Structure 1
Amino acid sequence: MDKRDYLVKTLSRTKRKDYENYIINAIWHKLDNMELKPVSQQYVKRKDGRHALMDLYFPQIQVAIEVDESYHKNNQEADKLRMDDIIAAVNENENNDFICLRINASQSIEAINKRIIEVITIIKDKASRTQLKWLTYEEEQSQVRQQEYLSIFDNVSFKQITDIANSVFDKGYIGFQRSGFRVSDTLWVWCPKLSVIVDEDAKSAARGWLNFLSDDWTYIDESQENQTEDERMALIKDDFRLNKERAVFANYRDSLGIKRYRFVGIFKSSGLSPDNKNYIRYSRIDDKTKVFRAGVLHEEHGINKPND
């Protein structure tokens, strides 16, 4: 999606129109900076563990804008978070420079416009102290390849599993159809479709497999609809024997409905789930994974080449 189409879609998807729509578009146009990338309807995980919806967010400078209008306030608690929203959420606790600017839309138009100017001044000041560049997807992937580690706190996602394999693990794949692959003797990549609860009933998103990621990303509970207890125990024993770890890239849809994969951590089997013995519990053991770059000897790290 090019910059023009992205902006049109992003700035036209305000969840509650009217005042919010006026304020968000006024801010964007008055900023007049085509290198500053806006994200609308961005969920943020607060320091208290709750999620809040930001009406506009600028990830490059970590500035969020929340429009307060009476309808919004009265219905915010009724909003039901999708798993997609949780995965794509910005973690306020890990962004030391994160600030949230509020605008009260119930005031007079003069007061609203005065506050808009105040917000724009703050954004411009912070943007002036940051080297801004609206990266294309290819440039984002190139940036990942230059990092030493990929962290769960990095604001980066992948369109395809092939991109994960090549940008993070230097696999050199042309195409890839499966939901995971082996990286080393002990590390696998796993790209699960996450399940949801509908009317207190678990719904599979992947041929009978049920994968539930906790809200804080610290564990995944997995089961298969026709799986027996003996089969679960056999999988657990096999994981323990191999000392198997999983770099997990959760499959979700972003704010524009585009399928993405996001790194949520390194996980390892810890046995049956204490919450439900029909599930295997995978607990997060690390919030980052090493990025393997071209030129690094694969043998040093036990990394398998594409034909392994």
Structure 2
Amino acid sequence: MNKRDYLIKTFSRTKRKDYENYILTAIWHKLDNMDIKPVSQQYIKRQNGTHALMDLYFPQLHIGIEVDEAYHQDNQKEDKLRMDDIISAVSEESIRDFKWFRVDATRSLEEINDRINEILSFIKNKASKTTLKWKTYEEELKELKQQEYLSIYDDLSFMDIKDIANTVFGKNAKRYQRSYFNVGGKMWLWCPKLSIIVNENALSVAGGWLNFLAEDWSYIDESHQDDTIVEERKNNYMEEVNFGRERAVFAKYKDNLGFNRYRFVGTFKISGISPENRNFIRYLRVDDKVKIVK
């Protein structure tokens, strides 16, 4: 997606919220800097354990903006996080210079514009001291290929499985239809669609598989809706343990624009039956990085 299409889609997410749309587009247009990349509707993991939804976020500058409209103030309704959101969330704790601005949309137009100018002054000052480059997806992949490792802390997600296999594991494929396959030696690539529980029911089930990722990404519990497959997995999991198989896991989620993406969440090894539910197999994270095959 080029910059024009990205920007149109990003700011179209606010078009049903009149005050928010006015404030955010005013900030963007007054910035007048096409090297700064905006992200709309970005979830932020707060240091106190809660989550916040940034209406506008600038990842290069670590600056978030939230617009408080009358509806939000009256209802005080907390947004419920999907697992998709947790995967793509930014951790405030890991960003030392994170800055969060709030704009009260119930104020007068003059007060709102004063607040906008105050935020703009901060953004422009920080941007002037920061090397900015809005990289294309292809440029991100090319730079990653030069690294020794891909880490869970790298700010990169993949558009499809072939990009993972080709960039990280040295393959040369045009397409992959499977979400789990060997990429060399004892290493397997696993791209699970994550599941969540809503009203005691599992959602986001892919082919009957249930995959629950711990919020701190320390383990994955896997099961299936078919009891026969569950019993088969429980009886045969030791084969994978004895082989020493590792899984480089790229969780499938939807990004802030609604597109499917894959995010590296670590290298995992099977440990046995889940202590929380005997119908699940547990995988423990054994490494937060994976070596890039040249």
Instruction: Quickly name the TM-score band, shorter chain normalised.
Output: over 0.9
Matched AA of 1:247 = A
Please give the secondary structure, in 2, of the residue aligned with 1:261: strand
Please name the residue that 1:125 is paired with.
125
The answer for unaligned runs of 5 or more in structure 2 is none
Please give the secondary structure, in 1, of the residue aligned with 2:145: helix
Q: Does 1:176 align with 2:184?
A: no
* TM-fit CA distance, 1:75: 4.4
* TM-fit CA distance, 1:204: 5.1
- The Cα offsets for residues 130-183 of structure 1, whole Å up to 9 and x where unpaired, read as 221111111111121122222222221111111001111212223222112223
Please name the residue that 1:222 is paired with.
222
Q: Is the 8 A contact 1:15 1:41 kept in 2?
A: no
Matched AA of 2:208 = G
Q: Distance in 1 between matches of 2:192 and 2:15?
A: 28
The TM-score, its normalising length taken from structure 2, stands at 0.93
Q: Distance in 1 between matches of 2:41 and 2:186?
A: 39
What RMSD over aligned residues (CA atoms) do the two structures have, in Å? 1.8
Please give the secondary structure, in 1, of the residue aligned with 2:155: coil
Q: From the superposition, tell whether residues 155 and 278 of structure 1 become closer, same or farther in structure 2 (CA, over 3 Å).
A: same
Please name the residue that 1:288 is paired with.
289
Q: Distance in 2 between matches of 1:165 and 1:73?
A: 46
Matched AA of 2:56 = L
The TM-score, its normalising length taken from structure 1, stands at 0.89
Q: Does 1:248 align with 2:267?
A: no
* TM-fit CA distance, 1:104: 2.1
Q: Distance in 1 between matches of 2:291 and 2:203?
A: 33
Q: Distance in 2 between matches of 1:272 and 1:115?
A: 54
Please name the residue that 2:53 is paired with.
53
Q: From the superposition, tell whether residues 70 and 288 of structure 1 become closer, same or farther in structure 2 (CA, over 3 Å).
A: farther
Q: How many residues align?
A: 293
Q: From the superposition, tell whether residues 122 and 246 of structure 1 become closer, same or farther in structure 2 (CA, over 3 Å).
A: same
Q: Distance in 1 between matches of 2:53 and 2:167?
A: 31
Q: Distance in 2 between matches of 1:145 and 1:136?
A: 14
Please name the residue that 1:148 is paired with.
148
Please name the residue that 1:19 is paired with.
19
Larger mean Cα displacement after TM superposition, 178-187 or 43-52:
178-187
Please give the secondary structure, in 1, of the residue aligned with 2:189: strand
Q: Does 1:200 align with 2:214?
A: no
Q: Is the 8 A contact 1:91 1:153 kept in 2?
A: no
Q: Distance in 2 between matches of 1:210 and 1:86?
A: 17
Q: From the superposition, tell whether residues 290 and 234 of structure 1 become closer, same or farther in structure 2 (CA, over 3 Å).
A: same
* TM-fit CA distance, 1:292: 2.3
Q: From the superposition, tell whether residues 86 and 173 of structure 1 become closer, same or farther in structure 2 (CA, over 3 Å).
A: same
Q: From the superposition, tell whether residues 168 and 73 of structure 1 become closer, same or farther in structure 2 (CA, over 3 Å).
A: farther
- The Cα offsets for residues 238-283 of structure 1, whole Å up to 9 and x where unpaired, read as 2210112211101111111111111111112121112111111112
Please give the secondary structure, in 2, of the residue aligned with 1:142: helix
Q: Is the 8 A contact 1:66 1:103 kept in 2?
A: yes
Please give the secondary structure, in 1, of the residue aligned with 2:29: helix
Larger mean Cα displacement after TM superposition, 228-237 or 153-162:
228-237
Q: From the superposition, tell whether residues 82 and 114 of structure 1 become closer, same or farther in structure 2 (CA, over 3 Å).
A: same
Matched AA of 2:263 = R
Q: Distance in 1 between matches of 2:283 and 2:227?
A: 17
- The Cα offsets for residues 185-221 of structure 1, whole Å up to 9 and x where unpaired, read as 3221100111232432113521111111122222211
Q: Is the 8 A contact 1:92 1:98 kept in 2?
A: yes
Q: Is the 8 A contact 1:253 1:259 kept in 2?
A: yes
Q: From the superposition, tell whether residues 290 and 7 of structure 1 become closer, same or farther in structure 2 (CA, over 3 Å).
A: same
Q: From the superposition, tell whether residues 98 and 78 of structure 1 become closer, same or farther in structure 2 (CA, over 3 Å).
A: closer
Matched AA of 1:117 = N
Q: Distance in 1 between matches of 2:81 and 2:243?
A: 36
Q: Distance in 2 between matches of 1:245 and 1:170?
A: 17
Matched AA of 2:292 = V
Larger mean Cα displacement after TM superposition, 29-38 or 232-241:
232-241
Matched AA of 2:42 = Q
Q: From the superposition, tell whether residues 232 and 181 of structure 1 become closer, same or farther in structure 2 (CA, over 3 Å).
A: closer
Q: Distance in 2 between matches of 1:285 and 1:72?
A: 42
Matched AA of 1:30 = K
Matched AA of 2:69 = E
Please name the residue that 1:82 is paired with.
82
Please name the residue that 1:186 is paired with.
186
Larger mean Cα displacement after TM superposition, 168-177 or 48-57:
168-177
